[in-house]
Amino acid sequence: MTIREKTQTALDTLAIPSGYRELLNPPETYITFFEYDYEYEHSEDEVKMAFYTIQVDLWTKSPKYKATEKLIISAMENNDFLLDDEEDLYETDTKMYHKAFRFILENTKEVD
């Protein structure tokens, strides 16, 4: 399973449309995600451990999204992602609230 597939699987447990980087014709509330960073530990010229940082973005027209934040965190943590950082943003050009989460997944080559 790729890192994108693992992330999408976690987000698919929510009743919120989600997709990699963008959604075509998105609804008023949706989620996007992308791989923010990778780090690898090597031993004897082999990758022994991979650390993936995934950014998950909640986009919504509603200022009341605290419950949705908790659902996203729970869905990701239930799939072995650890919350590392989060930031509240407001996109003035689109008039959308934007909550950015960064999750870390440590893996021993299980995910490509």
Mean pLDDT score, 24-39: 94
Output the six-digit token pair for 80: 């072995």
Q: Is residue 99 part of a domain?
A: yes
- Residue 31 lies inside a defined structural domain of this protein: yes
Strand runs labelled E in 1-112: 18-20, 29-43, 46-60, 82-91, 96-107
CATH of the domain at 71: 3.30.2000.30
Would you state the pLDDT for residue 23? 92
How large is the average pLDDT for residues 33-58?
A: 87
Q: Which residues contact 3 (CB under 8 A, 6 or more apart)?
A: 35, 52, 54, 105, 111, 112
Angle of helix 3-11 relative to helix 66-77, nearest 10 degrees? 130
pLDDT band at 25 (very low <50, low <70, confident <90, very high): very high
Number of structural domains the chain divides into: 1
Range of the domain at 72: 3-107
Task: List, for residues 53-112, the tens digit of each pLDDT value.
Answer: 999 999 999 999 999 999 999 999 999 999 999 999 999 999 999 999 999 998 755 555
What is the C-alpha separation between 94 and 26, in angstroms, rounded?
12
9 located within any domain? yes
Q: Region 2-29: what's the mean pLDDT?
A: 95
**Is the residue at 112 inside a domain?**
no
Q: Is residue 101 part of a domain?
A: yes
Of the candidates 54, 62, 52, 61, the residue with the CA atom closest to the CA atom of residue 86: 54
pLDDT: is 2 or 55 the higher one?
Answer: 55
Q: Are 48 and 108 in contact (CB under 8 A)?
A: yes
pTM above 0.85, yes or no: yes
